[in-house]
């Protein structure tokens, strides 16, 4: 039998008994109103006479009033009566009413406590059993249906054991959302997909991934991972929920990881709440290695160049002002910018003059005075110029500019 049901039946039986007892004083009160009651036993003084007249005193009083008395003749005969005073009636009935009220409170409290315990056991199976009772009922040829026996079994329930597994994947970064749709750059995105499976034995609510966002070649991203969709979920044992989130790239993120295989990486966790309201957050290691995802930002190599010529115009007989004349000098300045998303090495200018074209030499007497004029987002250390005045920039970081 269910423990809660048994408690209800037991307390109902007690209440029924108390209800009967609490009604007795009213019954005696009615008898007293209908019959004269003597304050002592009425009996035959000689043991023989059937009819003797006794002087009796009766008293009736309403609650809270004073009883009045009167004299009357009463044939006692064989009647024996005893008197309940109003006070004794009130005391007796008050105690019964108090007991009845207490029993009702006990019934309510015990039922509530037992029901609460039952819910607790359901939520915490480690202390629970599955109880089942079967009855053998049959109807004999000349009788009513009869229960001929019962058999019960209790099977212990496995302890509550919340558990998750997670697999995470990362999309290939987009290239069409940024300023240059031919390469990955700022405002392009990476979409992450999280597949969470409830491998425990209790339903988990408020389930959601936890993710601090990707790292780019080991450095945390400059932006914040977008919101999860859906924000949370409830997952039954054996159930699966798929979440997604999007990260918007900054130019610095791209510069740090572009062209390096699997350089965009991060590890996600998951959290959820048990039926008892306990937050469960497994360690990242217990979810791995499928909770780590990597992706690669494709290298996008690009350089732009601009060239400026400055004429050293001289005023001499036969020269034409503002035009190049014999023995006048033209100085060329070259500006090379790395507009791609990866560093470029051995950056130099190849300038052909004359017909057929002859390349201007690099270094002394040719292209020289090379310098990094704009260091770019990665800073000065990201670009290198090992040998001065050789016309070559050894490394030009993305976003940096060199002149010569």
312-321 per-position pLDDT tens digit: 878 777 777 7
| Predicted pLDDT of residue 25 | 58
Phi, psi at 103, each rounded to 5°: -65, -40
Can you give the pTM of this predicted structure?
0.62
Rounded mean pLDDT of the chain? 78
| Predicted pLDDT of residue 61 | 40
Does residue 12 surpass a pLDDT of 90? no
Task: Tell me the chain's radius of gyration from C-alpha atoms.
Answer: 51
| Predicted pLDDT of residue 307 | 93
Cβ atoms of 342 and 312 within 8 Å: the answer is no
| Predicted pLDDT of residue 356 | 84
Q: Name which of 29, 20, 18, 16 is nearest 90 in CA terms.
A: 29
Record the tokens describing residue 107, joined without a space. 């019934």
Q: Name which of 119, 115, 118, 150 is nearest 136 in CA terms.
A: 150
Percent of the chain exceeding pLDDT 90 equals 50
Tell me how far CA of residue 275 lies from CA of 22, 125, 129, 161, 318, in angstroms.
Answer: 45, 11, 18, 11, 100
Cβ atoms of 32 and 86 within 8 Å: the answer is no
Split at pLDDT 50, 70, 90, the class of 185 is very high
| Predicted pLDDT of residue 355 | 81
Record the tokens describing residue 294, joined without a space. 């990597």
Q: Please give the span between the terminal C-alpha atoms of the chain, in angstroms, as a whole number.
A: 95
Angle (CA) 244 249 252, round 5°:
150
Which residues does 94 contact at the CB level (< 8 Å), separation at least 6? none
Residue that the structure tokens 């030009």 belong to: 396
Q: Name which of 216, 224, 247 is nearest 398 in CA terms.
A: 216
Listed in sequence order, the DSSP H helices in 187-320 are 251-257, 284-287
Residue 29 DSSP SS3: helix
Alpha-carbon distance of 380 to 395, in angstroms, equals 11
Lowest-pLDDT choice from 31-35, 336-340, 359-363: 31-35
Does residue 234 surpass a pLDDT of 80? yes
Domains of the chain: 3-125 (no CATH), 127-156 (no CATH), 164-295 (2.60.40), 303-403 (no CATH)
CB atoms within 10 A of CB 59: 16
Report which of residues 256 and 154 the model is more confident about: 256
Report which of residues 212 and 46 the model is more confident about: 212
Q: To 10 degrees, what angle do helices 86-123 and 3-34 make? A: 170
Report which of residues 178 and 42 the model is more confident about: 178
| Average confidence (pLDDT) over 205-218 | 98
Note the maximum CA span of the chain: 181
| Predicted pLDDT of residue 322 | 76
Residue that the structure tokens 């409170």 belong to: 105
Alpha-carbon distance of 159 to 272, in angstroms, equals 18
Split at pLDDT 50, 70, 90, the class of 358 is confident
Model confidence pLDDT, tens digit, residues 146-175: 888 899 988 887 888 999 999 999 999 999
Does residue 377 surpass a pLDDT of 90? yes
Alpha-carbon distance of 71 to 36, in angstroms, equals 11
Model confidence pLDDT, tens digit, residues 53-101: 434 444 444 444 444 333 444 343 443 333 334 444 444 455 555 655 5
Any idea what DSSP says for residue 388?
T
| Average confidence (pLDDT) over 181-187 | 96
As beta bridge partners, residue 3 has none
Lowest-pLDDT choice from 8-17, 122-131, 176-185, 391-400: 122-131
| Predicted pLDDT of residue 101 | 59
Split at pLDDT 50, 70, 90, the class of 336 is very high
Half-sphere exposure of 8 (CA within 13 A, CB side): 9
Phi, psi at 157, each rounded to 5°: -95, 140
The DSSP bridge pattern shows strands 204-210 and 233-235 to be: antiparallel
- 247: region left, alpha or beta (phi > 0 left; psi from -120 to 50 alpha): beta
Alpha-carbon distance of 368 to 385, in angstroms, equals 12
């Amino acid at each position: 039998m269910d423990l809660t049901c048994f408690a209800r039946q037991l307390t109902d039986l007690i209440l029924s008994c108390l209800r009967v007892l609490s009604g007795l004083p009213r019954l005696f009160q009615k008898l007293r109103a209908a019959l004269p009651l003597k304050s002592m036993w009425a009996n035959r003084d000689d043991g023989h006479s059937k009819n003797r007249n006794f002087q009796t005193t009766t008293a009736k009083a309403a609650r809270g009033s004073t009883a009045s008395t009167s004299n009357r003749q009463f044939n006692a005969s064989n009647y024996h009566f005893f008197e309940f005073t109003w006070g004794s009636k009130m005391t007796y009935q008050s105690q019964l009413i108090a007991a009845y009220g207490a029993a009702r409170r006990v019934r309510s409290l015990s039922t509530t406590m037992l029901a609460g315990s039952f819910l607790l056991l359901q939520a915490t199976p480690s202390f629970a059993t599955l109880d089942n009772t079967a009855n053998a009922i049959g109807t004999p040829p000349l009788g009513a249906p009869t229960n001929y026996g019962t058999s019960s079994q209790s099977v212990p329930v496995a302890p509550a054991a919340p558990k998750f597994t997670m697999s995470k994947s990362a999309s290939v970064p987009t290239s069409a959302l940024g300023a240059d749709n031919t390469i990955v750059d700022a405002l392009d995105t990476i979409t992450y997909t999280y597949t969470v499976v409830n491998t425990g034995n209790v339903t988990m609510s408020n389930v959601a991934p936890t993710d601090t966002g990707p790292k780019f070649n080991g450095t945390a991203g400059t932006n914040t991972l977008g919101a999860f969709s859906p924000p949370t979920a409830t997952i039954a044992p054996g159930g699966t929920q798929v979440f997604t989130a999007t990260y918007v790239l900054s130019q610095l993120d791209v510069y740090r990881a572009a062209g390096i295989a699997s350089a965009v990486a991060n590890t996600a966790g998951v959290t959820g709440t048990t039926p008892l309201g306990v937050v469960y957050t497994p360690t990242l290691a217990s979810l791995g290695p499928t909770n780590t995802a990597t992706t690669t930002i494709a290298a996008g190599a690009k350089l732009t160049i601009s060239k400026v010529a400055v004429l050293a115009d001289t005023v001499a007989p036969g020269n034409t002002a503002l035009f190049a004349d014999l023995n006048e000098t033209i100085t060329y300045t070259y500006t090379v910018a790395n507009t791609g998303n990866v560093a470029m090495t051995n950056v130099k200018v190849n300038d052909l003059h004359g017909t057929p074209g002859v390349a201007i030499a690099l270094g002394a007497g040719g292209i020289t005075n090379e310098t990094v004029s704009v260091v770019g987002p990665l800073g000065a250390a990201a670009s290198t110029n090992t040998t001065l005045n050789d016309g070559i920039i050894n490394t030009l970081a993305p976003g940096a500019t060199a002149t010569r």
